[in-house]
Amino acid sequence: MATDTQKLDKLIEKYAAKKGILIPLLQDIQNLEGYLSRESMKYVAEKMKMREAEIYGVATFYSMFRLKPLAKHIIRVCKGTACHVSGANNISTAIRNVLDLTDGEDQSADGLFTFIEVACLGCCSLAPVIMIDDKTYGKLTSEKVTQIVKSYY
């Protein structure tokens, strides 16, 4: 994606003269672009007179920042304790099978799905839980989740 420097300027301006603004600024850029591109980070560094490494360091430290664009749908598998003891690993395996992901891959080849395991979605009473985009699915089994993911194709 080509970086729209005008939009970035607007965001940077919004935070001008405030303290401790790097994280909210990066969050806003991610909301705008869907991820943090190399170009955007470089641009912010120049504008704010910071080192690029400093910005990259913050961006990679926090798990919410993504350095790659997202697919059409995001599947979040809850890996909280309650989900774990209720079989979240099997849910992950079943989803990875449907999406045909090999170890380490988090994006399906057709560009439809991004697969993320998250710490806790906070719906422990419905464990195991996943979220696809903004919709939460609970009390899952391998079969149920396979059906659910297939319904998005």
Partner 1 sequence: MKECLIKVGMASCGRAAGAEEIYKSAEEYIKQNNLNCRLIKTACIGMCFAEPLMELIMPNMPDITYGRITEEEVPKIIQNYLNQNPQEEKILLTKKSTSETTLQGEENEGIKKQTRIVLRNCGIIDPESIEDYINRQGYAALQKVLKEMSPEKVVTEILNSRLRGRGGAGFPTGLKWEIAANSRVGEKKYMICNADEGDPGAFMDRSVLEGDPHSVIEGMLIGAYAIGADEGYIYVRAEYPLAIKHLHKAIKDAYENNILGKNILKSSFSFDLHIKEGAGAFVCGEETALIASIEGKRGMPNIRPPYPAQSGLFGQPTNINNVETFANIAWIILNGAEEFNKMGTEKSKGTKVFALAGKIKKSGLIEVPMGVPLHHVIYEIGGGMKDDSPFKAVQLGGPSGGCIPASMLNTIVDYDSISQTGAIMGSGGMVVMDENTCVVDVAKFFLTFTQNESCGKCTFCRIGTRRMLEILTRITEGKGKIEDIHTLENLAENISKASLCGLGQTAPNPVLTTLKYFREEYEEHIIDHKCRAGVCNKLINYSVVADKCVGCTACTRVCPVGCISGELKKPHFIHQNQCIKCGACFNACKFQAIVKK
Residues that bind partner 1 (CB under 8 A): 19-24, 26-27, 57-58, 61-65, 79-82, 84-87, 89-90, 93-94, 97-98, 118-127, 129, 136, 138, 141-143, 146
Minimum CB separation from partner 1 for residue 108, in Å? 16
- Which single residue is written with the structure tokens 């961006």? 59
Residue 8 or residue 83: which is nearer to partner 1 going by CB?
Answer: 83
Contact 9, 47 (CB under 8 A): yes
What DSSP element (H or E) covers 54?
helix 52-61
* Neighbouring residues of 52: CB distance < 8 A, sequence distance ≥ 6: 41, 42, 45
Minimum CB separation from partner 1 for residue 8, in Å? 17
Minimum CB separation from partner 1 for residue 71, in Å? 19
